[in-house]
Structure 1
Amino acid sequence: MGRVFVAGSINMDVVATADRHPRIGETVAGRQVLYFPGGKGANQAVAAARLEAPTTLIGRVGRDAFGSELRAFLGAQGVDLGSVRDADTHSGTAIITVAKSDNTIVVIPGSNALVGPDDVADVPLAKGDVAVSQFEIPLPTIAAFFARARGAGATTLLNPAPAQKMPDDLLALVDILVLNETELGLLADTELADNDPYDRIADAARHIQVNRDQIICVTLGKRGVIALVDDRLLTIEGRNVTPVDTTGAGDCFVGAVAALLADGQPIESALGYANVAASVSVQRMGAAPSMPTIAEVSAALRADRLSSS
């Protein structure tokens, strides 16, 4: 069995809930404020660890109260924190507003901005492992991490979020790209919506695909997932659930894909399983705390089989 190594952000999410999002310049009354461990790197690591993949997180936290709380939470989820270092600044923080199951997020990088190539230089990657990253740490660090992974024969999986342009040499190091339609539109220089025809989204994915071996997976919320695999277009239907908080759903998907690939499962199985896992995560509050266990995903799969029989 391979291992999952996640180089990425570690944040404390400060979540305000309200009946609706404020307009620019407007103040609205909120319902409650909640504190959840988060950050895309931490979320993805927890998602993989809760699915029982051996998971190591590489990143930095501040020497503050949030840093201590984040370490305690992640350790309790079974995430290996041997590569999480302290930084002389505040821990990464995300300010999130949740209203009608949708969210807006402002991220203050803090210690995440200090994750550098030296942090990934000694990661013991090997063939069969999966190296995962996202865009909440510096891009040169991701490039160094993926170059090391490629040299070791590990699979590289990138979630290019929050959306920003990336250099061609980084894209060339990516085996599996997992992104939503907004992120794809930015990279492909076209405007996309999650209700666009699958063919239009697939054409945009082909536009940025480095070669036919590169897998590009586009998450489309309640519509499910489409993916380019060996020049085939795979379509995975979304599950009909009632979302409570969509924060971290994409990270759940990424972590689940990584966990199954590390277990030796084919990409088609990994994508289908991750789609179900993400649908479970959106039915409760929080990012990292909402990541499901194997038992919870199995229960959802059984429910699907019963409903279709």
Structure 2
Amino acid sequence: MDIRPRITVVGSINMDLVTITAKLPKKGETLIGQQFIMNPGGKGANQAVAAARLGAQVKMIGCVGNDSFGVSLMQHLQNEGIDISNVEPVTDSTGTATILVSDNDNRITVVPGANRYVTADFVESKREVISESDILIVQLETPLDGVEKAVEIAREKNITVILNPAPICALPAKLIEQVTYLTPNEHEYTQLTENMAQQAIQDKVILTKGSKGVSFFANGAEVEIPAYKVETTDTTGAGDSFNGGLAYALGTGKSLEEACQFGNAVAALSTTKLGAQKGMPTINEVKTFRKMEVAVK
């Protein structure tokens, strides 16, 4: 029987509003677009869905607005099998990302809205939920003091903590010290090491490098985990898929190397379909894919 790890995600819940157009409008210009799509998003919700699709017992801690987007996103998370009893509506708009996509460019405006309410006090009220977890996942699309509080609670219980440092910002040394794993991409890693010595975070970092796979340090040596080769349709949400897959695998007792390999498979499969959450694979899809890869080799 597969183990179902208990994963708690503290993070953002957004509605992505995507407009596809042949070209972006100039100042004062109105254009007719080609397509409009609404997709559930937010790094927190994305990572929660990724872990839940794999079979983890996922609890989401966050906030939505008292609007139709909030209702829709709560229903969506529940439909994905995620425990939403700790997602609270607040008197504000639900977080949104307005995305303009053209043939050669894209522009994104994020309005945090209800995500701003995921503060230290709010997270403290969820102490018991975090304390009962096997793995805690946090990112940086909600207030930093709330992230710090969640990590502090988890570490008091020796719970494994994955911090996906995106969008990147200056991080307190104490927070870095408390997390178990940091999962930056190459750009985020560069910025992290501008503010602190590489050696200080080296043993915590799992560096995600897109089509080049991931790497981490063990016993002073760099371990390279290559990416799976797939026909890529859309890379949106691949990083979030990796984090969800990593958390699930660690929660089932896999070694760090095995967990990174598993996370790579989850991320690779997510890129074969359109949309962030829509493309995230189930555990059966991942198992079948990995068996096929072994057979090919």
Q: Report the TM-score when normalising by structure 1.
A: 0.86
Letter in 2 for 1:306: A
**In 2, are the aligned partners of 1:62 and 1:90 still within 8 Å (CA)?**
yes
Would you say how many aligned residue pairs link Structure 1 and Structure 2? 291
Shift of 1:124: 2.9
Shift of 1:262: 1.3
What is the rounded CA distance, in whole Å, between the counterparts of 1:81 and 1:61 in structure 2?
11
**In 2, are the aligned partners of 1:176 and 1:217 still within 8 Å (CA)?**
yes
Q: Which residue of 1 aligns with 2:229?
A: 240
Write the mapping of 1:224-239 to structure 2, written as runs, cut at 5 A.
224-239=213-228
Letter in 2 for 1:266: S
What is the rounded CA distance, in whole Å, between the counterparts of 1:163 and 1:110 in structure 2?
19
Alignment CA distance shift 1:244-1:98 (3 Å): farther
Correspondence 1:71 to 2:60? no
Alignment CA distance shift 1:175-1:35 (3 Å): same
SS in 1 for 2:84: strand
What is the rounded CA distance, in whole Å, between the counterparts of 1:103 and 1:285 in structure 2?
16
Write the mapping of 1:111-122 to structure 2, written as runs, cut at 5 A.
111-121=114-124, 122=127
**1:54 aligned residue (48, 54, 57):** 57
Correspondence 1:208 to 2:198? yes
1:106-149 superposed Cα distances (whole Å, 9 cap, x missing partner): 32101001111233222334487111100100111111100100
Moved more, 101-110 or 232-241: 101-110
Shift of 1:187: 1.2
Correspondence 1:129 to 2:97? no
Alignment CA distance shift 1:24-1:165 (3 Å): farther
Q: Which residue of 1 aligns with 2:243?
A: 254
SS in 2 for 1:123: helix
Q: Which residue of 1 aligns with 2:209?
A: 220
Q: Report the TM-score when normalising by structure 2.
A: 0.90
Alignment CA distance shift 1:103-1:261 (3 Å): farther
**1:173 aligned residue (178, 181, 201):** 178
Write the mapping of 1:1-309 to structure 2, written as runs, cut at 5 A.
2-18=5-21, 22=24, 30-98=33-101, 104-121=107-124, 122-126=127-131, 129-189=134-194, 207-210=197-200, 214-308=203-297
**In 2, are the aligned partners of 1:175 and 1:215 still within 8 Å (CA)?**
yes
Q: CA RMSD in A?
A: 2.4
What is the rounded CA distance, in whole Å, between the counterparts of 1:228 and 1:27 in structure 2?
51
Shift of 1:246: 1.4
Moved more, 270-279 or 105-114: 105-114
Alignment CA distance shift 1:53-1:237 (3 Å): same
Shift of 1:282: 1.2
Q: What percent identity do the matched residue pairs reach?
A: 37
